[in-house]
Amino acid sequence: MSWNPHNLPDQTGRTHVVTGSTAGIGYFAAEQLAAAGAHVVLASRSIAKLDRASEAIRGRVPRAEVTTVELDLASLDSVRAAASALSLRGRIDGLFLNGGAMETSTDRLTADGLPMMLGTHVVANVALVEQLLPMMTGRIVHASTGFVRRLRLDVDDVRAPQRGFFRAYTQAKTVTELYAYELDRRLRADGAPAASIVVHPGVGVDAKTPAREGVYDPRTQRRRNPFTPWAQGKDDAAWSAVRALTDPEAVGGDYFGPANGRRGLPVRLEPLAHTAHADADRVARVWTQLHELAAGRIVPAENASPRNL
């Protein structure tokens, strides 16, 4: 179909949950979904930021249906509490797993002793999905990155430490894709109504992102980004996820992102072989590890800090 992000399919009567929705791509995905008529649940750890994001959306979409739930992805107790609150809705049509700490230090751990990247970008999402599956009637959308294509990592043990931010982030998103595709295979096998879809946003930068009162003011942005000349704003970077959530023709196992990998309209891309078609035994090990970590049954590997390598 011809996809127009400025004329989305009507979402009236649908409920979409967006994590990490108080800034950046998550905020703009929520705003766009609300403009299409959806009831949007903003999920983030800061109540003050949730309030500001809600007000910003209502400022752009006067009749927006927006509610909030407190969710700290660095705490599995918080994830379980948020999932319990969300389950009271009875039905969830879309879940955009966008949140995650962009932590440059690989030594920082979550409240559960997990590396911050692994814990917030993957394990927390596994715990959230597991608890919300009975309410899911639509799409579970997983945020990945183009780095997974550029730096191929064949993950066998999700707890294996990575030296430096770039490798830690890429490993977390590689595991995200492994989990997302396996989740879809299992949903299909069970005949479940939910579908699992992977997206990557391209490159979104602050310098090209429009202002939103209480959420983002470009006049306060001082950090230069070398990607700016060929990147897009974070409003446009949200399009891949919004398409995955709302396109009537999207199906489980799809992979959406800009055709050129950087910016532009999202298209259906060929999933990456090393994540979508990884060795079945490897995927089974990753799946088991993630669910055991999400349940608190296993802990990170000994001497997991990169400084010990």
Active-site pick, 27, 169, 179, 216: 169
* 116 touches 103 (CB < 8 A): yes
Number of other CB atoms surrounding residue 84 within 10 Å: 12
Distance CA 250, CA 166 (A): 30
Number of other CB atoms surrounding residue 219 within 10 Å: 6
- Asked if 216 is an active-site residue, the reply is no
* 74 touches 127 (CB < 8 A): no
- In this structure, the strands spanning 255-258 and 266-268 are antiparallel
Q: Which residue has the tokens 């990557």?
A: 200
The residues annotated as belonging to the active site are 169
